[in-house]
């Protein structure tokens, strides 16, 4: 099981702050593709790869990163701290 966590408008548009899933995806990109198939909300949220970032186990990761060892995967828009 992998915990997915959503922040900011991603959380609002999907309608939940996170969920646990079973996946056969081997990379972040495959997982995004899998999520897109779930329903139209997911499809719309994850349609533009330039609009969000991903972190694996609380570290920023690229879309081609492997999911080996991934316990927690977070999706969020570009950060706006400071």
Partner 1 sequence: MYVSVQNEFFDFSAEVKKFSESLENVGALVTFTGIVRGQKSKTLDYMFIEHYPGMTEAQIKIIIEDSFKRWKINDALVIHRYGKLEPGEPIMMVATAAQHRKEAFEAAEFLMDYLKSRAPFWKKEVVNGKEHWVEAIAADETALSRWR
Cα radius of gyration rounded to whole Å, the chain: 12
- Helices (H), ranges, 1-82: 8-14, 28-36, 40-45
Taking the chain, what is the end-to-end CA distance rounded to the nearest angstrom?
Answer: 34
Binding to partner 1 in span 15-74, by CB under 8 A: 55, 58-60, 74
Q: Does 5 bind partner 1 (CB under 8 A)?
A: yes
Q: Judged by CB under 8 A, which stretch of 6-14, 23-31, 37-45, 62-70 contacts partner 1?
A: 6-14
List contacts with partner 1 (CB under 8 A): 5, 7-9, 55, 58-60, 74, 76-82
């Amino acid at each position: 099981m992998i915990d997915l966590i959503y922040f900011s408008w991603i959380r609002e548009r999907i309608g939940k702050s996170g969920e646990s899933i079973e996946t056969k995806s081997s990379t972040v990109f495959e997982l995004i593709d899998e999520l897109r198939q779930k329903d139209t909300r997911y499809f719309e949220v994850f349609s533009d790869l330039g609009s969000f970032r991903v972190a694996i186990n609380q570290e920023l990761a690229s879309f081609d990163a492997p999911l080996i060892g991934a316990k927690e995967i977070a999706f969020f828009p570009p950060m706006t701290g400071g």
